[in-house]
Each structure stands twice: as structure tokens, then as C-alpha cells.
Amino acid sequence: MPELPEVETTARGLKKKVLNKIFIDAWADAPKLVKKPTSFIDSRERIKGKRIKKISRKGKNIVFELSESHFLLVHQKMTGHLLYGKWEMKQGKWVSTIKGPLKEDPMNRFLRLIFFLDNGFQMALSDLRKFAKVELHQLELKMDLGPDALKADLKKVFKGRKGRIKSVLMNQKVLAGIGNIYSDEILFFAKVHPLKPVNKLKPAEIKRIEKAMKRVLKKAIALKGTSISDYRTVLGGKGSFAEQRKVYRKKGEKCPRCSNRIKRIKVGSRSAHFCPKCQKL
């Protein structure tokens, strides 16, 4: 699932390509991805003629502020990613007219929504499993999110909280932007066990987590995110943070710090990867 670095990379990439462009039409083969206001057909008619005035990231969501007080929200969920390019219909399938990853990478071929722009290009949502969420709001956009992970003061965020640190880091209502990949990496650098209760953390541990969080997320943004499975940048390429991972999906491999074997456990319904020697409970 795209997390803060992937969504931030996407938002920045789209700012360079679609800001101030006008929606002229839309197409969908998975209209149920559009959750609001009522249907894809309704949203399609409302979005026509709207100019993209601003693009921002809210947690793991991309928000397009449009003319006439409209907001388009896209949550890419598990396997979705937004692309910018040109496609044409051939034998019932959309095919990129631009050579390179948009055309050659199979992860970019699952086009579910296409927004046609006034410059002759399109913005498309590729989503293998059709889990993404698209909403069109008018007048205001309310989101139940905690402070953004890039700016959060964890001493305040954790105050009065209970629960295991891995789960708390991933709770979007507590802290916005972090998921499975980066929670593992952050806790590794902070030398904190994923099962440690938040209310048992020492001040020094909280400081280490906050420092690691901002360090890891900023580095991942600089490397355009993690493309282990489905995620791609707006031009269809891969992010390169996967090569920098220390523990995520590295069960059985040697810890880069102490050479102990990385373990994998369940925390709630999610996996956690950690070094049992460096990250003691």
C-alpha cells in the first residue's frame, strides 16, 4: 500500500504535470471505486470543466482542490497508483502511446479510471485489485486524521495512549501517513521492539522514534518511495527505497547492525519485521 513517501512522491509529480489543467471528461471500467457523491456518472458530469487549483497530500490521501469549491480525493489503497501520460484504446484495451515504463511495466496496465485533461494528456488510476477510493466533495473536505508524520511531535501524540507501538504508528487517526513498511524501518532505527506498549516507552525511546521517523520518511521521499510490488511513480517508474530497507520483508536475513537473523511476527492483523537482539522487548 502506498504510504506517506509514495503518496508525497505522487503528489509532487502531479503538481509538475496537471496543476492548472482542466478536466474535460472521465472514463471508468471500475465505477464502484468512486464512492462519493453518488455514482461515477454523477461525478463525471460534475468534474467536467473544473480546473485543478491545488494538489496536496493528507496522510495517505491525495487531494485535488478544484474550481467552484470542489475537492477530488484519491486514496490509492493497496495496489493503486496514479499515472500521467497518453493512452489510446486498442482492441478493447488502453495502451500507452508513450514508450518506457508506462507501456512496458505490467503494473501500469490495470487502468480503472482515466481523467482526460485539456492539454491532451490523461491522468489514470492503475489498480490491480480495485481497492482504491475516489471521492468528489463540494464546499468542504473533512478528514479524520492525526497529525502528519513528517511534522508530528510524538511526545504529544503518544500522551495518554495505549497499545503496541507498531499498531499506534499505523493508526491514521493517531498519526497520519505511516503503514507497514515504514513502521518496521522506523522501529529498527530507533531500536524499539514492535510489541512494546506505547505507555511504557521512555522519553529517550520516544525521541529516537521521532528522529528515525523523520529521517526514514525524508529519505524514502528522496528515493521516490518503495516499489517492492505495485507502486509506481506518476511516469510509471519505480521508487528505489526498496534497496535501502533494513528489515521489512527480510525475515531470516542477517541484521545489518548485529548480524542476528531478522524475525517476523504478527501484530494484530499485520506483520512486523525486526531484529530480536537490537530491538529487545
Q: Looking at the annotation, which residues are catalytic?
A: 2-3, 60, 270
Burial status of residue 281 (CB atoms within 10 A of its CB: 0-12, 13-18, 19 or more): exposed
Q: CB-hemisphere CA count at 13 Å for 204?
A: 1
CA dist 246 → 11, 13, 259, 269 (Å)? 26, 27, 11, 22
Cβ-based burial of 171 (10 A; exposed 0-12, middle 13-18, buried ≥19): middle
Q: d(Cα 145, Cα 77) in Å, to the nearest integer?
A: 16
Q: How many CB atoms lie within 10 A of CB 253?
A: 12
